[in-house]
A and B are shown apart, each in its own frame.
Chain A
């Protein structure tokens, strides 16, 4: 079955017809040419397809496009306004990548994660569930654990996220 949907992609409204089986990831990449959103595993296991949907980090490979009609999508490219986003700059400053394939997902995930910290969300490694979150290295590692990096650039990613969190 085909449906007409409209997505806001990095601030631009895009209308298209999708089959019900099309994921948001395939709609973005194959139909709209938004190729900075990467397909790694296509099964929710790697995080490379992470985008911000209505401001929250989610996996585009596990979302059906038709079910997300009307959503506001922000990708790693869409984060830059008047120069790089603080998280993008931090990845450059700390070499938070090698091949760069996982990077758009890492960057979106970090932006979403820092918002969650601002909202006081605890994590698996938070000792006191009711206290304010202190963003230690362990907290960053746990909160970013849904983004794998086959190049193993984790040390740089950690440093980048720490820098962006302080900014």
Chain B
């Protein structure tokens, strides 16, 4: 591991200034992803700017011009967010997504911002001895011809077929959450759906953030659709494993017909995949297995897979059908 300077800035603005003045510095949150990557030798900053003690750890309801919602500080721990009474009652899919991730210990350490910015679990990305365009641009993609079971089925590129690992990000994508950012030019707000990107020719970039931008919090709008929502994660073992595929779903029914529906998928793409075509096809419909299946198949029209990950197409289809039917019966 490369020698590291360590800085504990006094304020969010001082943290941003530290990253502006040193292009090789990185923010340190709970450290559960970054410390692992330092040990694996797949990132090598020369300075850590420890933001974990900045007072960005509140969970508060707000009501401003854009309507009411819940504001969550960047440093709120995953376990505290999942246990928050308003999250449990108004955003059950967020609680469920968090609780399906990692372990009790890791959720006590991991922060909200760090969770969103955790990097792919592609086995080659994590192995510094193999070619990987995300780790070393231009070196090639070992996953394309290699172990392919975890590879993306939507929005992949020749350069990279990795998937995004965060469960929380999938839930927040379904809810039209917003990320609050502080950069050298001040604060800005970014729809969560625009935070992560597809790999294209630049798989080294996971997100659209500027390199010194600090996430200070996220905002989740209250909505009738969020209250009847859940998160279903399919994995190789029942606990303490990343998703093969996952489905975040929310539905608002009126007289048995869909008035509003949200569907986002994890484990299928380089970013949380909001299934907007499927959503549009379901509005006004009754939630029947065939109807949901047809809507999901529209969304999957451009899915591309090889022998090893073809199962994901069927799995995400069937998991979505099952999850929406369960929601229609009131199980969240």
Contact = CB atoms under 8 A, between A and B. Distances in A.
A20 B6 contact: yes
A80 B4 CA distance: 37
A113 interface: yes
B216 interface: no
B204 interface: no
B88 A130 contact: yes
Given A23-B35, A59-B32, A66-B6, A124 B99 contact: yes
Contacts, number: 112
Interface string A4-45: 000000000000000111010000000000000000001110
Interface in B212-265: 238-240
Given A121-B83, A122-B83, A129-B95, A47 B105 contact: yes
Given A20-B4, A120-B83, A124-B99, A50 B31 contact: no
Nearest to B102: A146
A151 interface: no
Nearest to A45: B240
Nearest to A42: B39
B316 interface: no
Q: Which of B3, B50, B82, B103 has the most CB of A within 10 A?
A: B103
Contacts of B75: none
A17 B22 CA distance: 25
A62 interface: yes
A116 B3 CA distance: 37
Interface residues of A, number: 40
Nearest to A70: B53
A129 B92 contact: yes
Interface stretch (A81-89, A96-104, A137-145, A158-166): A137-145
Interface residues of B, number: 39
Contacts of A43: 36, 39-40
Contacts of B39: 42-43
B32 A21 contact: no
Contact of B5 (A1, A112, A144): A1
A146 B238 CA distance: 12
A129 B239 contact: no
A74 to B, nearest CB: 14
Interface string B16-40: 0000000000001011100110111
A123 B105 contact: no
A130 B89 contact: yes
A50 B36 CA distance: 16
B234 to A, nearest CB: 13
B274 interface: no
Given A121-B82, A124-B100, A67 B36 contact: no
A59 B106 contact: yes
Contact of B50 (A1, A58, A67, A141): A67
Interface string B101-112: 011111011000
Contact of B96 (A124, A143, A147): A124
Contacts of A19: 3
A57 B96 contact: no
B323 interface: no
Nearest to B239: A145
Contacts of B3: 1, 19-21
Contacts of B5: 1, 20
Contact of A109 (B36, B50, B104, B238): B104
B239 A62 contact: no
B35 A62 contact: yes
A63 interface: yes
Contacts of B92: 129
Given A47-B103, A67-B52, A122-B83, A145 B240 contact: yes
B31 A67 contact: yes
Contact of B36 (A44, A116, A121, A146): A44
B48 interface: yes
Contacts of A112: 104-105, 108
A3 interface: yes
B47 to A, nearest CB: 9
18 contacts: A1-B4, A19-B3, A20-B3, A21-B1, A47-B105, A57-B108, A62-B36, A64-B35, A67-B28, A67-B48, A109-B104, A120-B83, A129-B92, A142-B238, A143-B104, A145-B104, A145-B239, A145-B240
Interface of B: 1, 3-6, 28, 30-32, 35-36, 38-40, 48, 50, 52, 79, 82-83, 85, 88-89, 92, 95-96, 99-100, 102-106, 108-109, 238-240, 332
Given A44-B32, A58-B108, A129-B88, 5 more contacts: A21-B3, A63-B31, A141-B239, A146-B102, A146-B240
